[in-house]
Amino acid sequence: MELQLALDLVNIPEAIKVVKEVEEYIDIVEIGTPVVINEGLCAVKEMKDAFPNLKVLADLKIMDAAGYEVMKASEAGADIITILGAAEDMSIKGAVEEAKAQGKKILVDMIGIKDIKSRATELDELGVDYICVHTGYDLQAIGQNSFEDLMTIKNVVKNAKTAIAGGIKLDTLPEVVKLKPDLIIVGGGI
């Protein structure tokens, strides 16, 4: 089981400061979508340069032109790149092919997917590396989580690793650990 720190609401210097405090406890540092939007892929490069021993995830939430976007994130130093589960299968295939060519990994974010079971099965067959159930900020605000969805994907996925993100805090962490995902993604909880 790995732990990923999600950095969404910081600039690059703040992100580096936070990671210095928790570096020994985490396996992956995520450059979140808001950071990529505000700072660009240079945030990925600066994080990888500052912490070469940590895996860096670029949370691009790719929907189209996946091969190209994976290539650009890889060039910036990303070890793992995200694509949305709602993306076309051709886009998923393009992301997987480019990631494999670059020696990188693809994490599929299942945010907004209604039929988790069917889509997770399809994505697993497409060769993605991680499938992540994700409760976004809007649904966290009304008390939802992805615990049940995690069990659903764990029951159907045969090859990909499983991950969970969204609203995981110290008080919910024991319940998440019992579900045995391969990757736990925590942001504000850290």
Residue 53 buriedness (CB in 10 A; 0-12 / 13-18 / 19+): exposed
Residue 141 pLDDT exceeds 60: no
Residue 87's nearest CA partner among 55, 131, 33 is: 131
* Tokens 């860096």 sit on residue: 56
Residue 134 pLDDT exceeds 90: no
Under the banding of pLDDT at 50, 70 and 90, the label for residue 190 is low
Q: What is the pLDDT of residues 64-73, one digit of tens each?
A: 999 999 999 9
Region 82-88: mean pLDDT is 98
Q: Which domains does the chain have, with CATH numbers?
A: 2-186 (3.20.20.70)
Element (DSSP H or E) covering residue 176: helix 173-178
Q: What is the pLDDT of residues 19-64, one digit of tens each?
A: 999 999 999 999 999 999 999 999 999 999 999 999 999 999 999 9
Region 147-169: mean pLDDT is 92
User: 3-class SS at 152?
Assistant: helix
* Single-letter code of the amino acid located at 12: I
pTM of the model: 0.94
Residue 135 pLDDT exceeds 60: yes
Predicted pLDDT of residue 50: 98
Cβ contact 163:130 at 8 Å: yes
